[in-house]
Structure 1
Amino acid sequence: MVFFRDSAWLIIKFIGVVLTASWLSLAAFSAHAINKHAINNTVINKNAVGLKNLASSQSAESSKNHVVLISLDGFRHDYIELHNAKNLARIAKAGVRSRSLTPVYPANTFPNHISIVTGLLPIHHGIVDNRFHDKLRPSKEGSYAQYSMGKAQGDSSWITAMPLWHLAEFQGHKAATYFWPESDARIAGALPTYLYHYSKHADYQQRVDQIVQWLSLPEAARPLFVSGYFSLTDTVGHDEGPMSEKTKEAVAKVDKLIGQLYDRLNALSIDVNLVVVSDHGMTNVADSHQIMVESLNIADDFTVLNNGAQVRLYAKPEVTHEQIEDEKNRLRVLAEGKFIVLNSVERDVRHSQYNARTGDIIMETAPPARFKSEGDTHVSKGSHGYLNTLPDMGGLFVASGPSFKQGKILPTFSNLEIYPALAEVMGLALLAPIDGEVKVLREGLKEQ
């Protein structure tokens, strides 16, 4: 992986994303207001494209390597064997599978979904956790503004990156998203051509039908890139644990849907690459190992956020560096081996260096322990969000199609490789520096 070495390079990256996206957005939208047509919760953004004259030679119209990227939230790397996912095994045999897929830190849903479709670490794309504060943004209540899952729909400035659907749109192609986290964020004023806003009540079969329908459209209307999201295995994994019978049933349900999608895509008159991933794995947790946040008696000088694998503390404006260090030392004494307070080296390893969003103090525990607040009455038997290199945090990568080799098993690799690999498959130029680099996944790709 290629990482930014200093803040100057990060600034260059951010300026590159903003200027490129803003210039392309201006070219597409300056003459007209965004024109949307909503049908049954679907948004068709008619003016999101029309930039074929601006597309680079790497994204020529003749290159039509369609990609369908599906996320199965919380689907652990070994669920295929553990829960007998026959269809995913069949797809892997016809294509490529990795032994595991290493998530970014923390191994949570939103930072990883954004990393998969941007090739950037959370500290660079901005979504550093499922929930976090930004110390540079005051809130109306006098504290710090807080991000929570899906908030970028109303304020896309939380994200400083160019997702795959925008990469395709800005180079003259159409893209479609069905519930991918933050896919309805209006980055640089633009949305994917076809879009479904998230609803937890949406039917799973409808998602498969819609994806096939999109790819059955006439060429001029057909999306080059489609992404979809299924949350079932994560929801059940939390409630019942990764080894439970109900989790096995959830795996069977999504496996059947993916098998159906694979067969229907293969029946189309066009070639389509199906890529199935997950954002993270799942591990067993136990209430007998829970750490009550209130028992730590954290000083009022800090805003406390999150439960689960980490707790982030944000120092209030008047708090000094010495007070922050004193609180770190106090918490380390209290830890007694139940958790750690990350030092600067540990934060560097996790690519969670200090900035306005990551927190002044990060406490981290390991499974089967988890942090819990007194107001949290939910009993979880499974969880994630832990150190991303733990085996149980590993996710799924399976891909099959004309761009992938057959019967190839790859070593574990980082999910940051997915973005540049899929851009290459679709013939898209990268428009800004990223953290990901195609290394291990290169062995699974056919020569273009």
Structure 2
Amino acid sequence: MTIAQYVAVPANAAHDILSESSDDEGSCADHEVLKEEEEREKLLAGGNGLFGGKPGVKIGKKVRGARGKKKGVRDVVEMMGGKRLGMEEGGEFGLGADSDDEADSEEGEEVDLLREKEVFERKPRRPSVRRILLYTVSLLTFLLLLISASLSLSHRHHSRMVPLDITKDTRLSNGTHDFRPTTLLISLDGFRADFLDRGLSPALTAMANSGLSPRWLTPAFPSVTFPNHWTIATGLYPESHGIVGNTFWDPALKKEFFYTDPARSMQDEWWGGEPLWVTAERQGVKSAVHMWPGSEANDGWGLSYLDHFNGTESLSKKTTRILEWLDLPLPERPQFIAAYVPNVDSIGHKFGPNTTELDLTIREVDAMLTDLLDALDARNLTDLINIVVVSDHGMASTSRERLIYIDEIIDMSLIEHSDGWPLYGLRPYPNVNITALYKTLLAETLADQAKGKKHWDVYLRDENMPARWHFSNNNRIAPLWVVPEAGYAIVTREEYDVDASDKGKYEPAGLHGYDNLHPLMRAIFVAKGPAFRHLYGKGRSRALGLEKEEEEGGDVGIVVEEFGNWEVHRIVCESLGIGEAVGGTNATIKDFAFKAVSDWPVAEEEKGEEGGEIDTSTGTQARESITPTITATVPTSANEGVVSIQTIPADPNPQPNPELPEPGQEGTESPPVENSGEEEKKPEDMNPWEYAKWKAEKLRIALEKWWEGVWVGDD
């Protein structure tokens, strides 16, 4: 029976109807009401307590009271909250009766609908303070864990952009083996700086474009092999380490040094300074040297591994040898490896620098580097091994038309010893007036200058030797020097009695040994590896301090201002995490403090083909100097032939086309460039602790803004 039927009949009739149905339907109605009450309590007093029910009441708990007592509409309404469930004033759901006997299943359905409406329309209770605190603490804990992970990952990535805290005991892993800091130093003898621009050396060029390289590396004077390789190894100028040429006379020892004769050159009395392998071994770093000039002296210097010179050894054998050392077990494996590659120099001497023969050799040497780099990559060592590729000097073309016969200018019978080549060091007999010899040579060169064909200069070691050469403070340096322009050679008729009209092949077709600032003497320096990653990397600007960013997708190299090869010793030591040589070096760059440049200069090439005129200018491009940071004490040979300690001033600022002082004048040094003031530290310049604090502060600010937005949004 519906609610409408109850309303349509008289009150007494309704009573009769209810009475009649009470016997048949009473138990059913009571059961339905109790069932509804149970369901109601399940919702209102359930275990979750979301709507204010008593905590701890379980779903399915039975309603207290007599199961058989019938409930009317009013009881149900009162029990559920009266008017809060929708009762209107002056009426009770529109029903004219309030008797308990008038309840039936239809009323139960109506009440159930009203109860459900109340449940879904009630405003939820505001969370308690304890609950808010609980949620807040949980969220903060999660955020702190997230921040900690972010800092860890960020710092791990950032560690590639700051100087590594390297010690000789630092361990790196390639996934299967541990490696201590390892540096591979490779010398490509005679590889001129602009050879990189020929497009013949993709591996070396790729290293330069993705690593660290100066526009060129300045060799020491004289720009010949043995003095420069020993300068690279010791960090000293030739006047300081004593190897002042490929050939020279020592007046104290009464002996001649001749680089191709081990019997006359491999005794320890010639070799001053402390080479890299001794510096390393002294500090517990195993070293291996493959044919480096000077490494066979002094009974091998106590090296862990030493390969003697073999001019016929193939390039592939060199690669194999280096890899053999790197594949040794950790206790036996060298951390410093130096290897010498003479091919470019020997072919340049024989055929000249502008020939197809030399171009082919450049390709072959680059193929060797490609094989080596591929082998390192296959061993997962690309990011673990520091590779430094250098050369000792450049190369200039020469010919029979560029020979200067000194015996046609002075009487060579007055000369007891002559040193060097293509420049000439003259050591007259004791009773010869050296000043008179100098004036004779000077008058000749001035006469040539007046005719517009001057091709050489003359210097007295103790009077007007250019200070920037650092080539006077050693008695092994001859007192009188004739230095030709690039491409020319000082000879005697006895040595080279040739005529310009001769059609026979002339050798050497390529020479070096000239002014170390001449463009044709420029060498290379290319470095890549974990010790240098703070100076280059993915997305870094090609030059430090510039806003321009390179495209993403790999390591981006950095080009720095040129520097001298006497800096290499310190750079290698820093890459290995060891101290430098005992007694110091002539290095001025400290902690990789290079100066960046924005572009490469235009390379000055030789003019014409073999035998033609060449450009002998040193260039006019202004260059920033490397500010000296130390004054080193270095060994130098004394008159008695004993190595002593002497203070050597910092390297002056070299200028293009310097004015050569007249006899009696001293060379002047340019003042160092002053720092204009401290700049705000960039992330890449911070140490790990400073970077962590900087990163935490940025995250704290971001978190505060986010948290403020969350609470504002809730209001």
TM range (shorter): 0.7 to 0.9
What is the CA-CA distance between 1:267 and the residue it aligns to? 2.9
What is the CA-CA distance between 1:137 and the residue it aligns to? 1.4
How many aligned residue pairs are there? Answer: 383
The answer as to 2:423 corresponding to 1:272 is no
Partner of 1:435: 586
> Does the 8 A contact of 1:153 with 1:186 survive in 2?
no
* Residues 35-434 of structure 1: pairs in structure 2 closer than 5 A: 59-62=167-170, 64-139=180-255, 145-149=256-260, 151=262, 154-186=266-298, 190-270=301-381, 271-306=384-419, 308-316=421-429, 318-319=430-431, 323-335=433-445, 336=448, 337-343=454-460, 344-353=463-472, 355-373=474-492, 374-376=494-496, 379-404=507-532, 405-406=536-537, 407-430=557-580, 431-434=582-585
What is the CA-CA distance between 1:166 and the residue it aligns to? 0.7
How big is the alpha-carbon RMSD for the aligned residues of Structure 1 and Structure 2? 2.4
* Secondary structure class of the residue paired with 2:424: strand
Q: CA separation of 1:219/1:273 partners in 2, compared to 1, >3 Å: closer, same or farther?
A: same
- Partners of 1:440 and 1:60 in 2: how far apart? 16
What is the CA-CA distance between 1:347 and the residue it aligns to? 3.8
Uncovered stretches (5+) of structure 2, i.e. residues with no partner: 1-164, 172-179, 449-453, 498-505, 538-556, 597-683, 688-715
> Does the 8 A contact of 1:417 with 1:441 survive in 2?
no
What is the CA-CA distance between 1:60 and the residue it aligns to? 4.2
Identity of matched residues, %: 29
Which letter maps to 1:94? S
Uncovered stretches (5+) of structure 1, i.e. residues with no partner: 1-56, 140-144
Q: CA separation of 1:443/1:307 partners in 2, compared to 1, >3 Å: closer, same or farther?
A: closer
- Partners of 2:475 and 2:420 in 1: how far apart? 19
What is the CA-CA distance between 1:348 and the residue it aligns to? 2.4
* Residues 27-38 of structure 1: pairs in structure 2 closer than 5 A: none
What is the CA-CA distance between 1:84 and the residue it aligns to? 2.2
Q: CA separation of 1:426/1:444 partners in 2, compared to 1, >3 Å: closer, same or farther?
A: farther
* Secondary structure class of the residue paired with 2:370: helix
Q: CA separation of 1:397/1:285 partners in 2, compared to 1, >3 Å: closer, same or farther?
A: same
Deviation string 1:407-436 (CA, Å, 9 cap, x unpaired) is 111221111111101101101112221101
* Secondary structure class of the residue paired with 2:303: coil
Deviation string 1:282-307 (CA, Å, 9 cap, x unpaired) is 11223212112332333433224246
- Partners of 1:222 and 1:237 in 2: how far apart? 35
What is the CA-CA distance between 1:437 and the residue it aligns to? 2.3
> Does the 8 A contact of 1:106 with 1:386 survive in 2?
yes
> Does the 8 A contact of 1:59 with 1:429 survive in 2?
no
Q: TM-score when scaled to structure 1?
A: 0.80
Which letter maps to 1:387? D
* Secondary structure class of the residue paired with 2:531: coil
Which letter maps to 1:223? P
Q: CA separation of 1:414/1:265 partners in 2, compared to 1, >3 Å: closer, same or farther?
A: same
- Partners of 2:335 and 2:361 in 1: how far apart? 30
- Partners of 2:342 and 2:281 in 1: how far apart? 26
- Partners of 1:196 and 1:186 in 2: how far apart? 14
Q: Which is strand-richer, 1 or 2?
A: 1
Moved more, 98-107 or 395-404: 395-404
> Does the 8 A contact of 1:273 with 1:400 survive in 2?
yes
* Secondary structure class of the residue paired with 2:193: coil
Q: Which has the larger radius of gyration?
A: 2
- Partners of 1:338 and 1:269 in 2: how far apart? 53
- Partners of 1:401 and 1:150 in 2: how far apart? 37
Which letter maps to 2:427? Y
Deviation string 1:345-389 (CA, Å, 9 cap, x unpaired) is 334231111532110101101023211233347522221100000
* Secondary structure class of the residue paired with 2:465: helix
Deviation string 1:202-242 (CA, Å, 9 cap, x unpaired) is 22211110101101111100101000011111111122221
Which letter maps to 2:459? L
Higher RCO structure (Cα 8 Å, ≥6 apart): 1
What is the CA-CA distance between 1:196 and the residue it aligns to? 0.6
> Does the 8 A contact of 2:421 with 2:490 survive in 1?
yes
What is the CA-CA distance between 1:96 and the residue it aligns to? 1.5
Moved over 6 A (4+): 444-448
- Partners of 1:299 and 1:247 in 2: how far apart? 36
